[in-house]
Homo-oligomer: A and B are copies of this chain.
Amino acid sequence: MSKNGIKEVAKRANVSIATVSRVLNGSAVVSEETKQRVAAVIDELNYMPHAIGRALVTHKTNLLGVILPDVHSEFFSELIRGIDQAARERSYHIIVSSTHSNKKEIESMLNVMQGGHVDGLIIMSPHISAEGVLKRLSLLSNLVFVNSYTNGAKFVSVSIDNFNGAYQMVEHLIGHGYDRIAIIKGEESNFDARERFNGYLQALKKNRIHRIPELEIGGNFTEESGYEGMMKILKLKTKPSALFCANDSMALGALRAMHEKDIIVPGEIALAGFDDVPSARYVLPALTSVHVPIYEMGTIAVKHLLDGVKAMDGMKGIKKVLTTSIVIRESCGCSLKSDEEVSEMA
């Protein structure tokens, strides 16, 4: 129960605290003999340097702040995995906080994180633009945005190619011959959602298919909203031949609605989602979706934050966009295709 600190170690080893600090950090030459003696005492006392005291003088905490909205948990946890992995490789740890996309919460978080507790910050803020977040932020550096709308060019951001993911998927559907392709969108305020919708529109345009307003349904990325969106669609006089959902949760909801109404997927209506969540593999029919490299996004964000600090101290800004890839399963109708071809030939 005795006092335990660098002073105690110093006393017992008959050296000054400076020397103890030196052997602790290997920061200067210490004679082999003293080194041994100090190490022995450290071991004996089970002494651990006090991180706070150290941080006060070094201005380094080896902690990284991560601010996330709490939505879709599969995405969230995968991102954390990536961040944590990359962080620990550099012997950093992470402080996570979810903001529920509440602007005030974000500011409060930023404050906490400012107080010197973290050496850097990774922010994912799909609803609020980088500039909005940065209003009160003085530490323009040591900040990386993930999947957020960074309008000014002066930020570092890592995001996925929502636009092309959606574009390619819709083109794939068009390739199947579907001409009435519905979409269940995300919220207007959500950055990802907007981009994905744009990809959808562009694919239609490139293929000279006109937009049909009644096939553009609102949603909010929840399973529930997918279910409800589908129900709306099923009330239309002419139904679409395919449906693209702006994320997998909504696609799952839509699928549930179709099962209930005995719509055969993809026979009557083909379906595709976005995110490639684990569940996509297990539903029936397995869901065709756009794969996004979430884990990599996390590791890259950390890399930018910790490794690239020196490289970009100017106000250039870096914008890294990760490519997506479509993964074909059953729900888009690909397994039917060969049948059709066969029958056509016959």
Interface residues of A (CB under 8 A from B): 46, 48-56, 61-63, 70, 73-74, 76-78, 80-81, 84, 88, 93-98, 111-112, 114-117, 136, 138, 223, 252, 255-256, 259, 278-279, 281-284
B73 close to A96 (CB less than 8 A): no
B70/A61 in contact, CB under 8 A: no
Kindly report which residue of chain B lies nearest to residue A281, judged by CB atoms.
B256
Instruction: Name A117's contact: one of B51, B74, B88 (CB within 8 Å).
Output: B51
Chain B residues lying within 8 Å of A54, measured Cβ to Cβ, are: 115
* Contact of A97 with B94 in the complex, beta carbons under 8 Å: yes
Contact (Cβ within 8 A) B97 A112? no
Contact partner, A53, options B76, B116, B223, Cβ 8 Å? B116
Cβ of A80: which chain B residues have Cβ within 8 Å of it? 77, 80, 96
If the complex has contacts A55-B52, A61-B52, are A98 and B115 also in contact, measured as CB distance less than 8 A? no
Is B117's CB under 8 angstroms from A46's CB?
no
Bound state CA distance, A136 and B44, in angstroms? Answer: 12
- Contact residues in B for A115 (Cβ distance below 8 Å): 48-52, 54
- A93→B97 contact, CB < 8 A: yes
In this complex, what residue of B is CB-closest to A283? B282
* Contact for A256 among B94, B117, B252, B282, CB less than 8 A: B282
Q: Pick the contact of A76 from B77, B136, B223, B282 — CB < 8 Å?
A: B77
Question: Is the CB–CB distance between A96 and B84 below 8 Å?
Answer: yes
Q: Is the interface of A mostly helix, strand, loop or mixed?
A: helix
Interchain CB contact (< 8 A) of A96 among B61, B94, B116: B94
When chains A and B are docked, how far (Å) is the Cα of A53 from the Cα of B54? 11
Closest B residue, CB atoms, query A77: B77
| A74 proximity list for chain B (CB < 8 A) | 73-74, 77
A283 to B73, CA, bound (A): 18
Chain B neighbourhood of A284, CB < 8 A: 259, 283-284
A341 to B171 CA separation, bound complex (whole angstroms):
36
* A95 and B97 contacting across the interface, CB-CB below 8 Å: no
CB nearest neighbor in B for A66: B96
A61 to chain B, nearest CB (A): 7
A74 to B: closest C-beta gap in Å: 7
Residues of B within 8 A of A84 (CB): 96-98
Q: How far is the CB of A44 from chain B (nearest CB, A)?
A: 13
Chain B residue nearest in CB terms to A252: B282
- A81 near B98 (CB under 8 angstroms)? yes
A73 touches B63 (CB 8 A): no
Expressed in whole angstroms, the Cα–Cα distance for A78 and B80 within the complex equals: 13
Q: Known contacts being A52-B55, A73-B78, is A255 close to B279, with CB within 8 Å?
A: no
A76 to B70, CA, bound (A): 14
**Nearest chain B residue, comparing its CB with the CB of A137:** B46
Residues of B contacting A50 in the complex (Cβ-Cβ under 8 angstroms): 115-116
